[in-house]
């Protein structure tokens, strides 16, 4: 068996064991499993939320984005900083309301806040449908990393199977505490691996980081101008906007599991204040992307980083890098499984008892894991297309989440039409063949969504003030 594959499988097992150990001493209740009893301190929340931000994209996507768009790739750290700024204000308010309501995820939060099972059910359905492709991306990313390192498709399939089995097992056992435990390992491993690579790879190919940028400036000066390559200023601005809005109002279901487990609203605020420090890590894959640009790395841009690593490192070192890359897939994937299964149990297949909710969540984790693995092994084109809709589609929940922060929430009837039309427009613009240039389709749909919602908020009276009085009075005291 290939050395890289052996090291990778051992690493996956270690990640799984860390996840299992995260559940020691915890109760088996549904709330404990999904939000850790709302007891996590700032330090844990920092690593947990960073685990949701830094995925396989940190390893594969950022480098390929630099190859395609040069400095336009910096839209990623820009929108992340915008998200952290928004969460500084939104996060504590959302945490207080969720604690007062007893909410453990986005769907049941909206159900309770608006008093509408229809809105909660629809948000849960949208969340599951649009998030599964992103979960598949994490699993496929793990397989791609192993295949590029070993040159063997069979090794990639084996690593995906082992990874998903371990992932499902520790999520079933440990829930969000297991995710938090593996987040410590993942963030440390990624920082070490990327720091090592950003020293070794430029030295190997361009005589150092300075040589990398000198070479790009000489041969590809347009890479330092937004619009000088594939992505123009319109793409840059609309991509920053839709990503910041979606992230700032926490429209992706799995990111709720990186906010609600906090032990206080103050812990949420402190965490978001410090998270921009973690965003600095994205400068490391950016440098590696410019190194690939300097040497005009041939082949698939997504393979550029590991192709360079394979040429510059011995097998054992490459295996350690793959372990760090696999961790960037497994930790966010754990959050996605927890987030989706929580929505299934709380709104899509609701039960009356805590034990029943736990069982529904367990079944959902297994079924979603198996579906994702089957699609990843088959390489489903449908899910690959749906991936294009993931963030644009989920961003349509931003008005619902934003208006839920008000002391007097609007009626669900003012939210539902804009949400449905926004999601429909995203699908139509993406697949209907309509040319919108380099505009992000999500921002176009969201503008129409917000316009419709604003109009209906004026026309439809708000809910009775007494409906939300108890929740809001409790929320101000937490």
Task: Give per-residue pLDDT as tens, 154-165.
Answer: 888 888 999 999
Show the tokens assigned to 458: 């004026």
* CA atoms of 436 and 3, how far apart (whole Å): 48
Beta-carbon contacts of 323 under 8 Å, excluding residues fewer than 6 positions away, are 7, 8, 11, 12, 14, 15, 189
**Which pTM value belongs to this model?**
0.88
List the single range of 395-399, 443-447, 463-467 with lowest mean pLDDT. Answer: 463-467
Q: Please report the pLDDT score of residue 118 as a whole number.
A: 94
Q: Helices in 379-468 by DSSP H: which ranges?
A: 381-387, 390-394, 398-403, 412-431, 441-459
Show the tokens assigned to 402: 């934003």
In a domain, 244, yes or no: yes
Q: Over pLDDT 70: what percentage of the chain?
A: 92
Tell me how far CA of residue 267 lies from CA of 47, 101, 103, 377, in angstroms.
Answer: 12, 19, 18, 40
Higher pLDDT, 240 or 57: 240
Q: Please report the pLDDT score of residue 156 as a whole number.
A: 84
Query: Which of the four pLDDT bands, split at 50, 70 and 90, describes residue 271?
Result: confident
Mean pLDDT of the region 469-474: 50
pLDDT at 380 over 70: no
Task: Let me know: does 261 contact 49? Beta carbons within 8 Å.
Answer: no
The domain that holds 321 is classified in CATH as 1.20.1730.10
Residue among 145, 364, 359 nearest 253 (CA): 364
Q: Please report the pLDDT score of residue 448 as a whole number.
A: 97
In a domain, 412, yes or no: no
In a domain, 79, yes or no: yes
In a domain, 162, yes or no: yes
Task: Let me know: does 237 contact 12? Beta carbons within 8 Å.
Answer: no
Q: Please report the pLDDT score of residue 470 as a whole number.
A: 45
Higher pLDDT, 467 or 59: 59
pLDDT at 383 over 80: no
Higher pLDDT, 468 or 428: 428
Q: Over pLDDT 90: what percentage of the chain?
A: 44
* CA atoms of 329 and 34, how far apart (whole Å): 19
Q: Which residues of 260-291 are buried (b: 16+ CB within 10 A; e: fewer)?
A: bbbbbbebbbbbbebbeebbebbebbbbbbbb
Tell me how far CA of residue 342 lies from CA of 31, 36, 368, 475, in angstroms.
Answer: 10, 13, 12, 22
Q: Helices in 207-303 by DSSP H: which ranges?
A: 209-219, 233-248, 265-279, 283-294
In a domain, 393, yes or no: no
* CA atoms of 118 and 122, how far apart (whole Å): 6
Higher pLDDT, 103 or 356: 103
Rounded to the nearest 5 percent, the helix, strand and coil shares of the chain are: 80, 0, 15
Q: Please report the pLDDT score of residue 469 as a whole number.
A: 45
Q: Please report the pLDDT score of residue 432 as a whole number.
A: 81
Show the tokens assigned to 472: 């809001």
CA–chain centroid gap for 143, Å, is 18
C-alpha distance across the termini of the chain, in Å: 55
Query: What would the pLDDT profile of 321-338 be if each residue is shown by its tens digit?
Result: 989 988 998 989 999 999
In a domain, 259, yes or no: yes
In a domain, 442, yes or no: no
Enclosing H/E stretch for 103: none
Q: How many CA atoms lie within 13 A of 338 on its CB side?
A: 36
pLDDT at 26 over 80: no
Residue among 219, 255, 261, 205 nearest 34 (CA): 261
pLDDT at 472 over 70: no
pLDDT at 67 over 60: yes
* CA atoms of 337 and 165, how far apart (whole Å): 13
Q: 62: how many CB neighbours lie within 10 A of its CB?
A: 24
**What is the domain range of residue 349?**
3-386
pLDDT at 462 over 80: no
Report the chain's mean pLDDT, rounded to a whole number. Answer: 87
**Would you call 351 exposed, middle or buried from its count of C-beta atoms within 10 A (0-12, 13-18, 19+)?**
middle
In a domain, 440, yes or no: no
Q: Please report the pLDDT score of residue 388 as a whole number.
A: 64
Number of domains in the chain: 1
Task: Let me know: does 346 contact 318? Beta carbons within 8 Å.
Answer: no
Query: Which of the four pLDDT bands, split at 50, 70 and 90, describes residue 466?
Result: very low
Query: What would the pLDDT profile of 133-144 be if each residue is shown by its tens digit?
Result: 889 888 988 888
């Amino acid at each position: 068996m290939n050395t890289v594959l052996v090291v990778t499988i051992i690493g996956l097992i270690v990640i799984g064991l860390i996840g299992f150990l995260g559940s020691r001493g915890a109760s088996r209740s549904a709330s404990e499993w999904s939000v850790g009893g709302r007891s996590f301190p700032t330090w844990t929340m920092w690593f947990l939320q960073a685990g949701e931000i830094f995925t396989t994209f940190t390893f594969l996507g950022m480098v390929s984005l630099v190859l395609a768009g040069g400095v336009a790739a910096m839209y990623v750290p820009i929108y992340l900083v915008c998200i952290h700024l928004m969460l500084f204000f939104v996060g504590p308010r959302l945490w207080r309301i969720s604690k007062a309501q007893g909410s453990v995820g986005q769907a049941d939060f909206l159900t309770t806040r608006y008093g509408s099972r229809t809105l909660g059910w629809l948000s849960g359905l949208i969340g599951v449908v649009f998030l599964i492709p992103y979960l598949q991306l994490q699993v496929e990313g793990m397989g791609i990393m192993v295949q590029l390192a070993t040159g063997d498709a069979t090794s990639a399939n084996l690593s995906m199977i082992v990874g998903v089995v371990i992932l499902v097992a520790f999520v079933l056992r440990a829930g969000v505490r297991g995710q938090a435990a593996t987040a410590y390992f993942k963030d440390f491993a990624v920082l070490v691996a990327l720091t090592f690579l950003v020293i070794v790879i430029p030295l190997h190919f361009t005589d150092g980081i300075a040589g990398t940028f000198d070479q790009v400036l000489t041969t590809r000066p347009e890479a330092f101008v937004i619009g000088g390559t594939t992505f123009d200023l319109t793409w840059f601005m609309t991509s920053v906007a839709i990503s910041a809005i979606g992230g700032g109002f926490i429209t992706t279901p799995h990111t709720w599991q990186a906010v609600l487990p906090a032990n206080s609203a103050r812990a949420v605020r402190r965490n978001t204040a410090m998270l921009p420090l973690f965003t600095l890590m994205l400068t490391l894959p950016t440098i590696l992307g410019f190194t690939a640009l300097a040497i005009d790395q041939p082949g698939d841009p997504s393979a550029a980083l590991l192709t360079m690593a394979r040429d510059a490192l011995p097998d054992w070192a490459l295996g350690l890098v793959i372990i760090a890359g696999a961790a960037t897939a497994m930790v966010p994937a754990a959050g996605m499984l927890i987030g989706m299964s929580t929505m299934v149990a709380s709104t899509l297949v609701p039960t009356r008892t805590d034990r029943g909710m736990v069982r529904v969540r367990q079944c959902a984790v297994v079924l979603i894991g198996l579906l994702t693995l089957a699609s990843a092994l088959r390489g489903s084109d449908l899910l690959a297309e749906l991936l294009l809709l993931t963030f644009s589609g989920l961003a349509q929940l931003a008005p619902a989440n934003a208006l839920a922060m008000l002391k007097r929430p609007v009626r669900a009837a003012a939210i539902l039409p804009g949400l449905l039309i926004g999601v429909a427009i995203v699908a139509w613009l993406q697949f209907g063949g309509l040319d919108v240039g380099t505009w992000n389709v999500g921002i176009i749909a969201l503008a129409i969504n917000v316009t419709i919602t604003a109009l209906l908020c004026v026309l439809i009276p708000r809910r009775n003030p007494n409906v939300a009085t108890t929740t809001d009075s409790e929320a101000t005291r937490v």
